[in-house]
Structure 1
Amino acid sequence: MSEKKNERAWRRRRKRIEGTTQYVRVSMSEVERAQLYKMERETGLSASALMVQAALGSADPVAIELRRQQLAELLTMRRYMATIANNVNQVARHFNTTSEIGSEAAQTFREVREFSVKALAVIEDLTP
């Protein structure tokens, strides 16, 4: 029953499209296409409807701004993680050449722990 309801909703949406319909060609692997077929069967929507919904999602400006902020936060975390990884490599290189752990090693490992806690918190917030 819900499949027919979804189809009707999609047809109504198609009638509301302003202007002429545009066609887009999409390339995907066989595995991705199989997943799309499965979603079509589960939802009763066409591949086109699923892809439009996935691509455009919510046109809500608040949701779009939230996604933009989340992406910016993830990119900042990625840069910080690269910096920490570089510091860990320097500590390892120093230890391998001198067999000594430098004083900055403790600070680097504290940063690793702190970053791990923050990263996990952010990931948990992003998980639906």
Structure 2
Amino acid sequence: MWRQEAGAALKETPISRRRQGGRPVEVQERRRFARFYLPLAVAFQTRCGATGDLLEGEAVTRDLGLEGLSLLCPFPNSFHYGQVVDLVITLPLPQLHHHDTPLLKARGEVVRLDPPTGPRGLGGVALWFRDGLCFDEPSPPEG
């Protein structure tokens, strides 16, 4: 369902369940752009809160849109709200113009954390893109 608000078209999509006070509730989510549910490889880099130590790792997207993404991550407890994370997303596309595999880059801010669940213990980290998505500069061809 689409509706107009303050000059922008917003898409309202129901989310099946979220926890509120220990019980599942239905929530309406408002997004300006559609989300794509694609499992894409993501490399991330950020600084840990109090220590400032560099944290680098890999995750998989749960969903991706023009304004943000949600990751499944093996250590979501290392993140906090408002934390800035640099992301490199690998696209499963053929090489473009004989360059490396296409990559998207973004700088995101943590806006939601979901606790680890399931047998693999992956937790969710949702990020809002501060400056949008852009293609990474391709490496020059070898030879």
TM range (shorter): under 0.3
Question: Which structure dedicates a bigger proportion of its chain to helix?
Answer: 1
Task: Give the TM-score taking structure 2 as reference length.
Answer: 0.20
Q: Which of 1 and 2 has greater Rg?
A: 1
Task: Give the TM-score taking structure 1 as reference length.
Answer: 0.22
Question: Which structure dedicates a bigger proportion of its chain to strand?
Answer: 2
